Amino acid sequence: MHERKKYSLWLCPRDEQLQLTTNLVNQLALRYSAPKFVPHLTLVAKILADDQELEKVNQDISSLAKQISPLFITLEGYGFKDERYRCLYLLARSSELANLYDLTANYFPQVKSEHFQALPHMSVLYGDFAESTKREIISEHPIEPLDIKIDYIDLCLTEGQASEWQIIHSQKL
Give the side-chain half-sphere CA count within 13 A for 73.
Answer: 25
Count of domains observed in the chain: 1
- Judged against a pLDDT cut of 70, whether residue 1 lies above it is answered with no
| 3-class DSSP assignment, residue 31 | helix
Cα separation, 57 vs 127, in Å, equals 30
Say which residues have a Cβ less than 8 Å from residue 2's Cβ, sequence separation at least 6.
50, 51, 52
The confidence score (pLDDT) of residue 18 equals 82
Q: Is the pLDDT of residue 83 over 70?
A: yes
99 contacts 67 by C-beta, under 8 angstroms: no
Per residue in 108-158, pLDDT (tens digit) is 999 888 888 888 999 999 999 999 999 999 999 999 999 999 999 999 999
Residues in the chain: 173
Distance from C-alpha of 164 to C-alpha of 173, rounded to nearest angstrom: 26
- For the cut 90, the answer to whether the pLDDT of residue 159 exceeds it is yes
- The boundaries of the domain holding residue 168 are 5-172
Note if the pTM is more than 0.85.
Answer: yes
CATH number for the domain harbouring residue 145: 3.90.1140.10
